[in-house]
Amino acid sequence: MKSSFLQHNRRYLLLVVILVPLLISGLFFYVSRQIRNQQTTALRWVRHSYLVREKLFNVEALLYRAQSNERGYVVSGRPEYMGIYILTRANLLLQSALLRILVADNPAQEKLAGDLQTTLQAKLAELTQGTELRVAGDEKGAGALVNSSAWNLTATARQQISAMRVTEDKLLAERNLTSEDKLDLRENISTVLLLTSVSCSCGFNCCKTSSLSALGPSALTTGVSGCEWKSFFGNAFTSKCRTASRKKHLTE
């Protein structure tokens, strides 16, 4: 009776024990892939924030280097200071332009970058004016220009760089948190997939054992087990397999 019931409902058992876990696993796998893509995007934005911070550091360092070399030339008149100043000025203009392009995705940061670029251009124009006065031999005028308002625009640029750095630090913290959340969620889904696979395997083995037990003790000790395992998937092979195994058992 029990054997007949199992054989009659084997398709439903297969559906419950195998197909349902497989469908669940497929769903979780799809969700995991989507979360992986989101995590990749989050990591890309984290790297973007680190790049912005690096550009801010470079701009600030170049600003101080340009001002230092301009002052050195105005005071000493040594040409090596002038050469370094020219190279630093060109690099500073380039880095400030790249910084503005880099933060174009954020309107607030782009505005700050635009203001910073304007301040740096004004500062470099001031420094260049001092070097031109020194080249023309007006040491007094060049010195007065350097000493009068040399640090006003520099202080403004520092404030603008600091504001951009604070904003980017907040963005970086948020992006790091988002990336970590995505990673934790992926790990949880991986755990669910592993447990689902284990439960699917255990349930399949339980169905197999129950089916063999319903046929009697001899099914576990003779060649019936292999046949009954195959009979779980087909009616045509079941009858032949049972008959052959019983004949073998009677002969022995």
Q: If pLDDT is split at 50, 70 and 90, which confidence band does 109 have?
A: very high
pLDDT in tens, 123-132: 999 888 888 8
> What is the residue-averaged pLDDT of the chain?
74
pLDDT of residue 194: 65
pLDDT of residue 40: 78
pLDDT of residue 149: 53
On whether the pTM is more than 0.75, the answer is no
Q: If pLDDT is split at 50, 70 and 90, which confidence band does 36 have?
A: confident
pLDDT of residue 17: 61
pLDDT of residue 66: 92
Top-confidence residue, 147 or 35: 35
Domain 20-185: which topology? Four Helix Bundle (Hemerythrin (Met), subunit A) (1.20.120)
**Residue 199: how many other CB atoms lie within 10 Å:** 13
pLDDT of residue 225: 43
pLDDT at 90 over 90: yes
pLDDT at 72 over 70: yes
Q: If pLDDT is split at 50, 70 and 90, which confidence band does 111 have?
A: very high
pLDDT in tens, 163-213: 999 999 999 888 888 777 776 666 666 666 666 666 666 655 565 555 545
Are 142 and 133 contacting, i.e. CB atoms less than 8 angstroms apart? yes
pLDDT of residue 4: 52
